[in-house]
Amino acid sequence: MKTRAAVAFAANKPLEIVELDLDGPREGEVLIEVKATGICHTDAYTLSGADPEGLFPAVLGHEGAGVVVDCGPGVSSLRKGDHVIPLYTPECRECEYCLSRKTNLCQKIRTTQGRGLMPDGSSRFRFEGKPVLHYMGTSTFSNYIVVPEIAVAKIRPDAPFDKVCYIGCGVTTGIGAVIWTAKVEAGARAVVFGLGGIGLNVIQGLRLVGAEQIVGVDVNPSKKDLATKFGMTHFVNPKEVEGDLVAHLVELTKGGADYSFDCTGNVNVMRQALECCHKGWGQSIIIGVAPAGAEIATRPFQLVTGRVWKGSAFGGARGRTDVPRIVDWYMDGKINIDDLITHTMPLERINEGFDLMHEGKSIRSVVIY
């Protein structure tokens, strides 16, 4: 069949809207009509050429929602008409990683997914007879995609695609880091560095679990109002702090944060996030993706004296199990997604979504097919 897609033919070039050939689903796979997709920083990072795993030509996009339109042989958990969110972190429920219960990083299809291929080692997209690669196992910048059944979360049919697509990455990453990675308890004091599409979801996760103090740190003061609406109790602009930022945050949190979150991808900020944690028990969660080759540093004594450094991918969520629950939280009014979707556009204007992100003018742009 044919599918309309925004293709990244080369690094650092605008996406091109073209018609691709798409092969149908094979054993254990489904064909999905993507109805909406968010544009995330990770798409921009890969498009920039800075991602060492970035391959071209490829169909980017990993934050979608849509409908199953066909199932390959052997598919048992999905059927035609199901509303779904594709998962860049699958959940096979049978690999060593899934069975460990210690991680959400299912490895069942990791090797082929990282090479931009389906589990059988082939690509389903072609342009003018030549293969075009998949991306993060999802490729939601195509109107139709083929994905493995284990990488699909089935969601309720009344959830709006143009909102819940954001649960495919940003919402789950932020809220999940609070609930599943850090396991923040009610009454905690927390510091969130970076109040963008991820950090604001960390903030609403902290409010959801009943954190007492939620300090937001951002060099862009225009983020303050929305962060306050989402639950931030104190705002700190590092540019306005006289003296040492870490010392200021330790004082503000009465001895240090119980939990801190890096949502910037800046390794200097990651160090500040660790060192503003409370001696003896403070935990710092790295969510931001740093540039290729970057390294983090601190004095080991920071860890000897009880601070803990952790990372979080997709919020520690097990997608097929947890994503439908987050969709329920949205539909029940427990979390706010609408105010974070600042722009919508048709696929033809997807490059404007990237421009808005680079200019710091959007939280989330969503492409509606």
Which stretches of the chain bind Zn ion, using CB under 5 A?
40, 42, 92, 95, 98, 106, 108, 169
Question: Is 63 among the catalytic positions?
Answer: yes
Closest residue by beta carbon to ligand NAD: 196
Question: What type of residue sits at position 93?
Answer: R
Report the distance separating Cα 241 and Cα 223, nearest Å. 17
- Residue indicated by tokens 């390794």: 267
Query: Which stretch, 105-113, 178-186, 227-235, 276-284, contacts ligand DAO (CB under 6 A)?
Result: 105-113
Coil vs helix vs strand at 21: strand
Question: Residues 16, 92, 234, 349: which is the catalytic one?
Answer: 92
Question: What type of residue sits at position 220?
Answer: N
By the rule CB under 6 A, 40 interacts with ligand DAO: yes
Question: Residues 165, 169, 263, 277: which is the catalytic one?
Answer: 169
Question: Is 251 among the catalytic positions?
Answer: no
Among 5, 313, 347, 350, binds ligand DAO (CB under 6 A): 313
Angle at 145 between CA 141 and CA 146, to 5 degrees: 150
Neighbour count for residue 368 (Cβ, 10 Å): 13
Report the distance separating Cα 367 and Cα 347, nearest Å. 6
Question: Is 92 among the catalytic positions?
Answer: yes
Question: Residues 3, 29, 37, 62: which is the catalytic one?
Answer: 62
Angle at 307 between CA 304 and CA 311, to 5 degrees: 120
The residues binding ligand NAD (CB under 6 A) are 40-42, 45, 169, 173, 193-199, 217-220, 223, 238, 263-266, 269, 287-289, 312-314
Question: Is 79 among the catalytic positions?
Answer: no
Question: Residues 3, 29, 37, 63: which is the catalytic one?
Answer: 63
Q: Are 7 and 59 in contact (CB under 8 A)?
A: yes
86/199 with CB nearer ligand NAD: 199
- Our CA dihedral for 16, 21, 27, 31, rounded to 10 degrees, sits at 60
Report the distance separating Cα 353 and Cα 290, nearest Å. 22
Question: Is 278 among the catalytic positions?
Answer: no
- Residue indicated by tokens 């969503």: 366
235/314 with CB nearer Zn ion: 314
Angle at 209 between CA 205 and CA 210, to 5 degrees: 115
Query: Could you tell me where the beta strands, DSSP code E, fall in 287-334?
Result: 308-311
32/169 with CB nearer ligand NAD: 169
Question: Is 98 among the catalytic positions?
Answer: yes
Q: Give the bridge partners for 193, in sequence order.
A: 217, 262
Among 37, 42, 123, 365, binds ligand DAO (CB under 6 A): 42
Instruction: Give the shortest CB-290-to-ligand NAD separation in angstroms.
Output: 7
Question: Residues 3, 46, 71, 98: which is the catalytic one?
Answer: 98
- What's the token pair of residue 333? 């009014």
- What's the token pair of residue 366? 């969503």
119/194 with CB nearer ligand NAD: 194
Q: Are 220 and 200 in contact (CB under 8 A)?
A: no
Instruction: Give the shortest CB-192-to-Zn ion separation in angstroms.
Output: 17
Question: Residues 3, 37, 89, 106: which is the catalytic one?
Answer: 106
Question: Among ligand NAD, Zn ion, ligand DAO, none, what does residue 92 contact (CB within 5–8 Å per kind)?
Answer: Zn ion
Question: Is 240 among the catalytic positions?
Answer: no
Q: Give the bridge partners for 19, in sequence order.
A: 4
* Sign of the Cα pseudo-torsion (313, 318, 322, 327, in order): positive
Question: Among ligand NAD, Zn ion, ligand DAO, none, what does residue 213 contact (CB within 5–8 Å per kind)?
Answer: none
201/302 with CB nearer ligand NAD: 201
Instruction: Give the shortest CB-162-to-Zn ion separation in angstroms.
Output: 17
> Restricting to residues 156-185, which ones interact with ligand DAO according to CB under 6 A?
169
Please report, for the chain, how many H helices and E strands are present, in that order: 12, 17
Instruction: Give the shortest CB-55-to-ligand DAO separation in angstroms.
Output: 15
Q: Which residues bind ligand DAO (CB under 6 A)?
A: 40, 42, 62, 89, 105, 107, 110, 169, 289, 313-314
Query: What amino acid positions are annotated as catalytic residues?
Result: 40-42, 62-63, 92, 95, 98, 106, 110, 169, 364
